[in-house]
Amino acid sequence: MITASTIDRIFEASRVEEVIGEFVQLKRAGTNLKGLSPFADEKSPSFMVSPVKQIWKDFSSGKGGNAVSFLMEHEHYTYPEALRWLAKKYNIEIEETQLDEEQKQSVDERESMYVVSNYAKDYFHQNLFENEEGKSIGLTYFKERGFREETIKKFQLGFSLNQWDAFTNQALSKGYDLKYLEKTGLTIVKENRNIDRFKGRVMFPIHSMSGRVLGFGGRILDSTEKAAKYLNSPASEIYDKSKVLYGIFYAKQAIAKENNCYLVEGYTDVITLHQSGIENVVSSSGTALTPDQIRLIKRLTPNITVLYDGDAAGIRASFRGIDLILEQDLNVKVLTFPNQDDPDSYARKVSSEELKEYLTHNATDFIKFKISILMEEAENDPIKKAELVKDIIKSISVIPNSIQREIYVQETAKLMEISEGVLYSSLAQQIVSNRKQDGEQRIDEPVRMEVVQQSQLQPEDINELEKYEKEIIKTLLLFGNHKTEFIDWVEVTNTMGKLEIKKEIYENVVAQEIYLNLQDDEIEFTQDIFKNIYSILITQFNLNQNINIKHFTNHENPLIAQLASDIVLEEDKYVLSKWESRDIVVKPKETYISKQVTDIILNLRRVLIDEKIKAVMKSIKDKHPEREQIEEVLNYTRLRKLVFDKLHRVV
């Protein structure tokens, strides 16, 4: 684990404008920088970076945060990966907490395997351009496939010499440990003999989402040899083919931006489509699609388009993969290519524009596609048609979203000319069957749908409570250290012995005023994120008598960092509107912060009192409530009136 002192040094050295500037073209706009959103297509810039506050905000997507959160959003790094990226950029040595010997050995072994894999990638790639055998065989093969030199370098393609131990001997001579060459599967140790696993193959490095080399795929070029055409690295501590997608490192930004992922079968499909301008594409590397691979895509987009070649038998065999995608609650479209072409061969036949147009206009909803394929087999056979219906219903049954299931049932009924009632009945049976297979207890009685009266549902109260809780956090972050005058209205007895309301003015720090009021009323936040931030804020204030907002914009929890950054940059949003050019003067909030604090606290009290009254009323089960219950309601009602009176006096 990276030490806290290292994290502090990374944040101190990092400049958010320098980090984001590597990915987004930024232009000066007053004290801030502006650019086009990297998360959405737009013509007017709504992406803003504040060098002074070291935070950013994308008003088109709502995302925001610090340098770390930008890398997590844009590059889809984990928190430690983003920190390591920044440490490398700013030449900061990473210190890690002390691990026990077993943990240290495990970390060291994994890191050693990464180092060996990265060396192998460089070695194989170098062979293509500097070794005669590599140039004449490997480079020639790639160029015959239509790969341009910049594409070959981008994907770091390579060649393993057709010698039994050329790579192993070279790696050992460079000081790499045979233990890790064997653990990564690059070298086969057999009877004291070291053999290169990928001898005589062109090499495709397989990267993680963050760009680390996990393993390799190798294609044999000599058709006379009795060996598998494609060979993958064996499973290891760093490589599990069921959890990896080929090309995900190169495709992740395009997938997020296009909000769609093209899924193909082979390495060359991915590379050719990239070269043709279709970068949001990944491959399952010839293996059956797995839930872990689908979840990788789901991190980037809810939409998948599966690209097939014209082989009907292969398409039918892959239907299980589509069901897995549906089960993960993703939207699926499918597309086939004409004349038995696959994505690679078709992309090489047409221009980039023609390819994009074909992909855009020929993707089909999976239901229509599956019915069209299976109906060819069923023809006019009623038994086969019945089996087809069961097959379609089985696919629909795995979809978690009930509305989506209903839409697909309606679509199936139209396409197959079957009543919706029959399909709904079959669907219900299939869902029960799925539950039994998953080990769930069968529910014999159907769930009864109860009509809830509108008066029972009060989402506005929930929203109002959340609204004022957020306003408190916002006020503390922006003005918590601000000292100002507050007004209170108190009941006093005048010289005539009568009660009257008197205005009192006193001075206090905003954070102290909010803290004391919430303490007096024993108010607790209902939203976890607000509760966490408030606890940190008040602890920070009580210890230091000062609130440091950078602690929150640089927080390791990305949700806290984003919320804090959103709040800080919310004022700057209006700078984009250029109010001055419209002769509109925006009054600074500091001038009415006292009124704002009092208003928020009183409104929060009002909402909570209303909830208390409703709770007591709900507990009264008959028309003859107990005296204590009546008094409780009356007391809360009087208290509510006092709050309203004070609200009307806030000036």
58 contacts 44 by C-beta, under 8 angstroms: no
The CA distance from 282 to 262, in Å, is: 6
Paired strand residues for 492: 500
The per-residue pLDDT for 103 is 61
Q: Which among 403, 450, 395 is positioned nearest to 427, based on CA atoms?
A: 395
355 contacts 392 by C-beta, under 8 angstroms: no
The per-residue pLDDT for 455 is 39
The per-residue pLDDT for 467 is 86
The per-residue pLDDT for 444 is 37
Its sign, for the CA torsion 601, 602, 606, 607, is negative
Q: What DSSP element (H or E) covers 302?
A: none
Q: Check residue 581 and report its DSSP letter.
A: G
The per-residue pLDDT for 4 is 80
Paired strand residues for 50: 55
SS (H, E, C) 212-228: CEEEEEEEECCCCCCCC
The per-residue pLDDT for 92 is 92
Q: Which among 412, 377, 406, 407 is positioned nearest to 392, based on CA atoms?
A: 412
The per-residue pLDDT for 576 is 47
Cα 329 to its chain centre, rounded Å, is 15
Q: Check residue 451 and report its DSSP letter.
A: P
The per-residue pLDDT for 443 is 38
- Set out the domains of the chain in order of their start, with CATH numbers: 4-89 (3.90.580.10), 101-239 (3.90.980.10), 248-437 (3.40.1360.10), 459-570+580-649 (no CATH)
Tokens 């006096």 sit on residue: 649
pLDDT in tens, 345-362: 999 999 999 999 999 999
249 contacts 210 by C-beta, under 8 angstroms: yes
115 contacts: CB under 8 Å, gap ≥ 6: 176, 180
The pairing of strands 281-283 and 261-264 is: parallel
The pairing of strands 27-29 and 261-264 is: unpaired
The CA distance from 207 to 474, in Å, is: 41
The per-residue pLDDT for 623 is 57
φ, ψ of residue 56 in degrees (nearest 5): -135, 160
The per-residue pLDDT for 218 is 96
Please state whether 537 falls in left (phi above 0), alpha (psi between -120 and 50) or beta.
alpha
pLDDT in tens, 210-219: 888 999 999 9
The per-residue pLDDT for 102 is 67
Number of Cβ atoms within 10 Å of the Cβ of 79: 16
Q: What DSSP element (H or E) covers 281?
A: strand 281-283
Number of Cβ atoms within 10 Å of the Cβ of 470: 18
572 contacts 478 by C-beta, under 8 angstroms: no
Q: What is the mean pLDDT of each run of 10 residues along the chain (651 residues)?
A: 85 90 84 85 84 86 88 83 90 77 69 94 97 96 96 97 96 95 96 93 93 94 80 93 93 88 94 97 86 87 86 70 90 90 94 95 89 76 85 91 89 88 90 75 38 41 76 89 81 70 82 84 82 85 78 82 82 53 56 82 83 76 66 75 66 37
